[in-house]
């Protein structure tokens, strides 16, 4: 046990400002209280602290983070509220008042996946200058939509959780209001050198998104490739990224799992991994000694009234933590 990160801080970020519809604000409470995540981690020797809501002391932000029907404006919905939530996440992590992520393993629970730029930019504020932070982007989508895409597509939603990778890379067309979510030198949080995009459905990205990934040289493992060998591909992904960076952050969006089998994700996603494939890969990622943080996003407890999917998610992740060397 001596070689493990023995301190874990669970931090709920119950926001729905950047997504399609309500429910995800209930995720942290469900994992913490219903599925007993802290107690299960403690049984494996971890010292666990819990911050059920990062908005606890700020009622106005709780309202800002809540979902509400919002018309598109310039190809995006609810931009002001979503950006306000991300600014709060960044400033909270930067201040170290709620959690000092350099002294504990942060286990963030969303909320929608638009929170990741806020988390990563906060990490850059507290780690020493020059620290190379890498990302495993474990997601059913690649989230490279830009506001123009949303405006012209028939099915374009305009929600910011469909634009996460656009804002991590600050690629052309990104929202200027998202520009502050960068490293300490104002550079993009993500480049082809510090990310692995893992598990997404290769049919989902638009042709323009594929062109962008290919021309910029992103390291990818698509869903069909992962399904052939979830453990083997996860090991390859980690081994490649460990050579590139000093620390790793895992973005785990549960919509990478096929909704026909395990419809826990907020937005239905078919042609995904099985729950076993996805959680086996997640357990491999948790073994990396360079892994210094995790966010689980897009869990909608309204899709799981009996709680059996949340229970399985928690139990499998706890098993991964139990196996950390």
Q: What is the pLDDT of residue 72?
A: 87
Specify if 203 maps to a domain.
yes
Q: Is residue 230 within 8 Å of residue 273, measured between CB atoms? A: yes
Closest CA to 16 of 73, 89, 81: 81
Q: Report yes or no on 1 lying in a domain.
A: no
What residues make up the domain containing 124?
7-322
Question: Does residue 250 fall inside a structural domain?
Answer: yes
pLDDT of 2 reads 37
Q: What is the pLDDT of residue 3?
A: 42
Exposure of 43 by Cβ count < 10 A (0-12 exposed, 13-18 middle, 19+ buried)? Answer: exposed
Question: pLDDT value at position 325?
Answer: 58
Question: The domain that contains 92 carries what CATH number?
Answer: 3.40.800.10
Contact assessment for residue 77 and residue 44, using Cβ atoms and an 8 Å cutoff: no
In a domain, 58, yes or no: yes
Closest by Cα among 174, 165, 172 to 192: 165
How many domains does the chain divide into? Answer: 1
Token output for 37:
């995540």
Tokens of 192: 């082809």
Q: What is the pLDDT of residue 43?
A: 97
**pLDDT for res 255:** 96
Tell me whether residue 224 is in a domain: yes
Going by the DSSP 8-state scheme, the letter that residue 43 receives in this structure is T
Work out the angle at residue 133's Cα, subtended by the Cα atoms of residues 127 and 137, and round it to the nearest 5 degrees: 135
Amino acid 174: pLDDT: 95
φ, ψ dihedrals at 15, nearest 5°: -110, 145
110 in a structural domain: yes
- Determine, yes or no, domain membership for 2: no
In this structure, is residue 215 part of a structural domain?
A: yes
Divide the 325 residues of the chain into consecutive groups of 10 and give the mean pLDDT of each group: 71 96 96 98 97 92 93 91 97 95 97 97 96 98 85 69 96 96 96 98 92 96 98 98 98 98 94 97 97 98 97 98 86
- Asked if residues 31 and 314 have their Cβ atoms less than 8 Å apart, the reply is yes
* Residue 293 phi, psi dihedral angles, 5° rounding: 175, 155
């Amino acid at each position: 046990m001596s070689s493990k990160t023995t301190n874990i801080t669970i931090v709920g970020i119950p926001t729905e400002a950047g997504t399609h519809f309500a429910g995800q604000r209930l995720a942290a409470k469900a994992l913490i209280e219903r599925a007993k995540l802290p107690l299960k981690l403690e049984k494996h020797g971890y010292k666990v602290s819990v911050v059920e809501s990062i908005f606890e002391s700020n009622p106005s932000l709780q309202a800002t983070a809540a979902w509400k029907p919002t018309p598109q404006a310039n190809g995006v919905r609810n931009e002001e509220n979503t950006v306000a939530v991300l600014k709060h996440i960044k400033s909270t992590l930067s201040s170290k008042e709620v959690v000092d992520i350099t002294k504990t393993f942060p286990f963030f629970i969303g909320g929608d996946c638009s929170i990741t730029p806020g988390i990563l930019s906060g990490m850059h504020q507290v780690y020493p200058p020059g620290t190379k932070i890498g990302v495993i982007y474990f997601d059913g989508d690649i989230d490279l939509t830009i506001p123009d895409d949303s405006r012209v597509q028939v099915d374009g939603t305009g929600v910011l959780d469909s634009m996460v990778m656009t804002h991590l890379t600050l690629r052309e067309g990104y929202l200027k209001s998202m520009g502050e979510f960068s490293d300490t030198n104002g550079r993009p949080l993500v480049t082809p050198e510090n990310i692995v995009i893992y598990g997404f459905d290769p049919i989902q990205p638009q042709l323009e998104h594929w062109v962008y990934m290919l021309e910029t040289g992103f390291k990818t493992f698509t869903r069909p490739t992962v399904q052939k060998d979830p453990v083997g591909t996860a090991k390859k992904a980690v081994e490649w990224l460990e050579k590139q960076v000093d620390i790793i952050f895992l973005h785990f969006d549960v919509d990478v799992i096929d909704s026909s089998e395990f419809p826990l994700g907020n937005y239905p996603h078919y042609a995904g991994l099985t729950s076993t494939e996805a959680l086996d890969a997640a357990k491999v990622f948790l073994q990396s000694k360079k892994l210094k943080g995790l966010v689980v996003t897009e869990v909608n407890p309204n899709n799981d009234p009996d709680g059996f999917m949340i229970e399985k998610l928690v139990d499998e992740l706890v098993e991964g933590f139990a196996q950390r060397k």
